Amino acid sequence: MRVGAGPFDLTTFSGGALRAAAEQAAAASFDSVWVAERRSSGAGGALAAATMVAQWTPVRVGAVVEIGAYHPLHLAEDIAVADVATAGRLEVVLRPAHDDPDVIKEHLHVLSAALAGAHIQWEGLHLRIPARLADNGFVPQRLAINPPPMQPAVPAWFLDADEVLGAHASRLGFGTAAPFQAGAPVPPTWSRLPSLVMCRGHVDAEQLLAAAGDGSAYFLVAVETAEDVRLAGRRLVGPLRMPEFPDWVHGER
């Protein structure tokens, strides 16, 4: 069972407040701290902020980024650079930013191959890699991102309600991410990653344990202040990891 704090919305939560919350999350024994930007703002800001958070805390850091908003090779390069800058502690949630599912499928294919270190040649409906524009002169037949990520496989989850797209992402090795629904089980995953569930801050440990059942799960808990992080840590982190232990082991509720 893993528990992350966030994602913190960078449009309203930045600077000193973000650092205080991140440091409190590490002190409260959260496994990770996550950030996100508003839709259609690109991935660079969230990945840069995750890199900054990694300088403040020893835990893993995550970024919610959009896929389909710009070229998947650029996204792969941004993820790889952020992974290197965080010393291999980066995690990513991919949120679709295009209405055409075929575009998202193609971007997922290219992103998966690029992050795996493949030398890519792609002739798709929407993408052509390398572009081989005549004005560029000589262009290699295949391209790979440089530098590669530090991790052999950057943990990445795909967030979407479309089951077809979700199954496609799973076949490419991406995990399953979904919003928490009270009374509903954690969605199944067909990748090596546990399912990731994004929760509101008011959930309790019993609800999350019931959702996980006998399986593994990764819960992200939305919190808004450093004090919220502290209280959520007391209420959730210990009971989720050691549910059979008495309350006094975990501290005040």
Write the pLDDT tens digit of every residue in 186-195.
988 778 899 9
Contact 20, 238 (CB under 8 A): no
Tell me what the mean pLDDT of segment 144-155 comes to: 93
Structural domain total, the chain? 1
The enclosing domain of 40 has a CATH number of 3.20.20.30
Please check whether residue 125 lies inside any domain of the structure.
no
Q: What pLDDT is stored for residue 245 in this prediction?
A: 62
Distance of CA 101 to the CA centre of its chain: 20
* Element holding 250 (H helix, E strand): helix 247-250
Please check whether residue 163 lies inside any domain of the structure.
yes
pTM of the predicted model as reported, rounded to 2 decimal places: 0.90
Please check whether residue 145 lies inside any domain of the structure.
no
**Cα–Cα distance between 66 and 125 in angstroms, integer?**
20
Domain that holds residue 53: 2-113+153-250
**With bands split at pLDDT 50, 70 and 90, how would you rate the model's confidence at 248?**
very low
Please check whether residue 147 lies inside any domain of the structure.
no
Contact 75, 104 (CB under 8 A): no
